[in-house]
C-alpha cells in the first residue's frame, strides 16, 4: 500500500523525487484521526527552498489514487485517508486467496547459510544454546518466507583439547553403563572431576595433552572413545530438537574440518598474512588483538576451524548471506574471523554476519548454574509442558488431545518468550510469566488463534470472491496491520530480527481481542460474511506468524 502511495506521490510531484525516497519518508500518523499515512514535506522544503506548508498544500491538491479517499494538508504534512471499503476488500481478498503464502516472496532469491544451535559434545545444552537454536530457526524460516533457500547447519563443538581430558577422565573413572544411561550428565561429572583432580596432580594435564595428540594422530582407541562420546551426546541433543520441532540440513561439527585446515594455513602463509609470535602463528588485525591460527605445538584452534568452515560453506553453497547465531560473548571471535577472510581478499566476507544475542537471566542473574548444578534445558521444557498441562486441566478438562496441546503450548511459551524482545537484550526466564494467558506470551497468541478457530467452526468464512464491506472503526486498525504483514516479514529478515514478527503477532492478537469484545461476530446481519472473512484472515496471519517463529498453533486449547 505504502509503495502505491509513494508512487502516486511521485506522480503528483511530477517525478521530481523518486518513489523509493518517498517511501522511506512515509510515516504513520500518531492517531488514525489524522489519517492512515502521512508524508512530511520538511526534507523537500529544505531542498526546494519552499515552505513545507505550501508543498503539502500543492501535493494535497494533486494527489490521486484509487485507494485514497481524501487528503489533507496540515502543518507541513500531507495526511492521507485511505478508502476503507476498497482497502478492506483488497486486503481480505489477498489473504483469503494466498492463505499461508500471504507475504511469501515467490522469486528465488538464492541461498542463506545459518550456523546455529551448535552445542558442545559431552557438555550440557545451555540456555545460550537454546537462544541460538530458537533465534536461528526463526531466522531460517523468515529467510525462506523471503524467497531464500535456508541451509540450517549445526556446527557441533566436537573437537578441541577438552577431548583429551575427557578420554583420560573416562579411562580413570568412567562407568560405561552410567554414561550410556545418561550420557551428558555422567560425562560432565567425570570432566569436572578431572579438573578437580588435576589441581592436585598436574601430570593429569600432561596425560590429557598426550591423549588429545593421540586422537589427532588417529589412534584407534582414542578415536573410538571420541566417536562414542559424540554419538551418545548427539542422541540427547536430538531429543531436544525433536521436542522443539527443529531440524538441521547438516550436522557438520568442528572435527569435520580437521583435514581441511592445512590448506587454509598454507593459503594464509602464501598470502603473507601469517606472522610468527613466540612459536605460534597469528594473523595481525586492525584495531583488535591478533587472531591465533596455530599454537606453539602446531595444534589448530576454534578460529582456525571456523575459517576452514567458512571457506567450505562458501565453496559449497555460494550463499547470499552466512549468519552465525551465537551469543555476544563471541563478538571478538567473529570480528576477527570476518577480518581474516577480508584480508584473504574474499569479497564475500561482506556477506558474513554475526547474529549475536544477550543472556538468559533468572531473577536478574545469569542462568547457567543453579547451586553449582547446570540448568538442563530438557528439565526446563518439561516444566513448561507440565505447567501447560495443569492449566489445561483447569481451563478445558474435556480437551481430547491434551497431551499434544500441552506440548505445543509449553514449548511455544518458551520459544515466544525468547523471541518477543530484540535478541540483543538479556531476557528474563520465568515459566509463570511466559505461560500467562493474558500477558505478552505465546499462549496468549495461540489462545487468540484457537478462539478464532472455534468461531469459524460454527460458521465458515466466505471465499475470496465476495464483496467485503468495511467493518467500522475497531476493524480498521486490524486491516491496516494485516496489510503490513509482508513488509514486517521483509524487515525481520533484513534486520535479522525475529522479534518483529513476535511483536506483530502480539499486536494483531491484541487488536483482534479488542474487536471481539465489542462486536458479535456471528450476528446475522449483512456484515457477518465480512466479519468472518476478517476472522479467517487474522487466523491465517497469526498462524503463519507463529509458524515463522517455530511455534505451532493448536486449534483447540
Ligand atoms: N560450540 C560453540 C559454543 O558452544 C558455538 C559454535 C558457534 N558457531 C561457530 N561457527 N563458531 O560456544
Cβ neighbors of 136 (< 8 A, separation 6 or more) are 114, 115, 116, 117, 152, 323, 325, 355
Cβ neighbors of 101 (< 8 A, separation 6 or more) are none
Does residue 362 register a pLDDT over 90? no
> CB of 378 within 8 A of CB of 513?
no
Does residue 473 register a pLDDT over 90? no
pLDDT of residue 375: 66
Average pLDDT, the chain: 93
Q: Which cell numbers in the block locate residue 51?
A: 515552505
Which residue's CA is the nearest one to ligand 1's atom 11?
Answer: 306
> CB of 67 within 8 A of CB of 82?
yes
Summarised one tens digit per residue, pLDDT across range 425-452 is: 999 888 889 999 889 999 999 999 999 9
Report residues whose beta carbon is within 6 angstroms of any ligand 1 atom.
115, 118, 120, 155, 157, 306, 324, 326
Which residue's CA is the nearest one to ligand 1's atom 1?
Answer: 157
Helices (H), 245-374: 261-270, 302-317, 331-343
According to DSSP, the residues that pair with 360 across neighbouring strands are 427
pLDDT of residue 299: 81
Q: Among 141-155, 316-330, 429-443, where is mean pLDDT lowest?
A: 429-443
pLDDT of residue 492: 98
Does residue 130 register a pLDDT over 80? yes
Region 14-29 average pLDDT = 85
* C-alpha to C-alpha distance for 401 and 122, rounded to whole angstroms: 35
C-alpha 268 – ligand 1 centre gap (Å): 23
Does residue 368 register a pLDDT over 70? no
**3-state SS record for 503-515:** HHHHHHHHHHHHH
Summarised one tens digit per residue, pLDDT across range 202-214 is: 999 999 999 999 9
Q: Which cell numbers in the block locate residue 195?
A: 579438573
Beta strands in 76-173 (DSSP E): 77-82, 110-115, 148-154
* C-alpha to C-alpha distance for 449 and 395, rounded to whole angstroms: 16
Does residue 43 register a pLDDT over 60? yes
* C-alpha to C-alpha distance for 257 and 269, rounded to whole angstroms: 18
Atom of ligand 1 nearest to the CA of 126: 4
Does residue 196 register a pLDDT over 70? yes
Considering only CA atoms, give the Rg of the chain: 28
Which residue's CA is the nearest one to ligand 1's atom 4?
Answer: 119
pLDDT of residue 472: 84
Does residue 374 register a pLDDT over 70? no
Helices (H), 147-182: 162-173, 176-181
pLDDT of residue 365: 77
Give this prediction's pTM.
0.94
Residue 74: in which H helix or E strand, if any? strand 68-74
Atom of ligand 1 nearest to the CA of 309: 10
pLDDT of residue 372: 47
* CA 390 to the chain's CA centroid: 29
pLDDT of residue 237: 94
Amino acid at each position: 500500500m505504502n509503495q502505491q502511495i509513494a508512487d502516486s506521490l511521485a506522480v503528483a510531484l511530477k517525478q521530481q523525487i523518486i518513489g523509493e525516497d518517498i517511501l522511506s519518508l512515509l510515516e504513520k500518523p500518531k492517531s488514525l484521526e489524522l489519517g492512515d499515512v502521512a508524508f512530511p514535506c520538511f526534507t523537500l522544503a529544505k531542498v526546494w527552498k519552499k515552505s513545507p506548508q505550501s508543498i503539502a498544500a500543492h501535493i494535497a491538491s494533486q494527489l490521486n489514487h484509487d485507494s485514497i479517499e481524501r487528503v489533507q494538508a496540515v502543518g507541513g504534512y500531507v495526511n492521507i485517508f485511505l478508502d476503507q471499503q476498497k482497502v478492506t476488500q483488497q486486503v481480505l481478498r489477498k489473504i483469503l486467496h494466498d492463505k499461508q503464502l500471504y507475504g511469501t516472496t515467490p522469486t528465488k532469491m538464492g541461498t542463506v547459510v545459518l550456523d546455529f544451535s551448535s552445542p558442545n559434545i559431552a557438555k550440557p545444552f545451555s540456555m545460550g544454546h537454546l537462544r541460538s537454536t530458537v533465534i536461528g530457526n526463526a531466522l531460517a524460516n523468515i529467510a525462506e518466507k523471503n524467497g531464500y533457500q535456508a541451509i540450517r547447519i549445526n556446527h557441533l563443538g566436537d573437537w578441541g583439547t577438552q577431548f583429551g581430558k575427557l578420554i583420560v577422565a573416562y579411562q580413570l573413572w568412567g562407568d560405561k553403563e552410567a554414561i550410556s544411561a545418561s550420557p551428558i550428565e555422567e560425562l560432565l561429572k567425570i570432566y569436572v572431576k578431572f579438573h578437580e583432580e588435576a589441581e592436585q596432580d598436574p601430570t593429569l594435564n600432561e596425560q590429557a595433552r598426550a591423549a588429545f595428540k593421540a586422537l589427532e594422530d588417529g589412534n584407534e582407541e582414542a578415536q573410538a572413545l571420541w566417536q562414542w562420546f559424540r554419538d551418545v551426546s548427539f542422541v540427547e541433543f536430538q531429543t531436544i530438537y525433536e521436542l522443539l520441532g527443529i531440524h538441521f540440513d547438516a550436522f557438520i561439527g568442528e572435527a569435520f574440518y580437521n583435514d581441511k585446515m592445512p590448506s587454509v594455513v598454507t593459503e594464509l602463509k602464501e598470502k603473507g598474512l601469517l606472522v610468527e609470535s613466540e612459536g605460534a602463528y597469528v594473523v595481525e588485525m586492525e584495531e583488535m588483538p591478533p587472531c591465533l591460527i596455530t599454537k606453539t605445538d602446531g595444534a589448530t584452534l576454534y578460529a582456525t576451524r571456523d575459517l576452514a568452515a567458512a571457506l567450505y560453506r562458501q565453496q559449497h553453497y555460494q550463499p547470499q548471506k552466512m549468519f552465525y547465531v551465537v551469543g555476544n560473548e563471541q563478538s571478538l571471535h567473529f570480528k576477527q574471523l570476518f577480518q581474516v577472510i577480508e584480508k584473504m581478499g574474499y569479497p564475500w566476507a561482506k556477506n558474513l554476519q554475526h547474529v549475536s544475542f544477550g543472556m538468559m537471566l533468572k531473577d536478574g542473574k545469569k542462568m547457567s548454574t543453579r547451586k553449582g548444578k547446570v540448568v538442563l534445558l530438557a528439565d526446563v521444557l518439561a516444566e513448561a509442558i507440565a505447567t501447560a498441562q495443569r492449566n489445561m486441566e483447569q481451563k478445558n478438562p474435556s480437551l481430547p488431545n491434551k497431551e499434544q496441546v500441552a506440548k505445543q503450548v509449553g514449548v511455544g511459551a518458551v520459544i515466544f518468550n525468547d523471541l518477543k524482545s530484540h535478541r540483543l537484550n538479556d531476557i528474563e526466564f520465568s515459566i509463570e510469566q511466559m505461560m500467562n494467558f493474558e500477558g505478552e506470551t505465546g499462549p496468549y497468541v495461540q489462545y487468540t488463534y484457537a478462539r478464532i478457530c472455534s468461531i469459524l467452526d460454527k460458521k465458515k468464512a466466505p471465499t475470496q470472491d465476495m464483496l467485503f464491506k468495511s467493518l467500522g472503526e475497531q476493524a480498521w486498525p486490524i486491516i491496516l496491520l494485516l496489510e503490513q504483514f509482508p513488509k514486517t516479514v521483509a524487515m525481520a529478515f533484513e534486520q535479522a530480527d525475529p522479534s518483529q514478527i513476535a511483536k506483530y503477532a502480539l499486536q494483531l492478537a491484541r487488536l483482534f481481542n479488542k474487536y471481539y469484545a465489542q462486536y458479535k461476530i456471528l450476528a446475522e446481519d449483512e456484515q457477518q460474511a465480512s466479519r468472518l472473512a476478517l476472522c479467517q484472515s487474522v487466523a491465517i496471519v497469526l498462524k503463519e506468524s507463529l509458524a515463522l517463529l517455530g511455534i505451532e498453533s493448536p486449534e483447540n486449547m
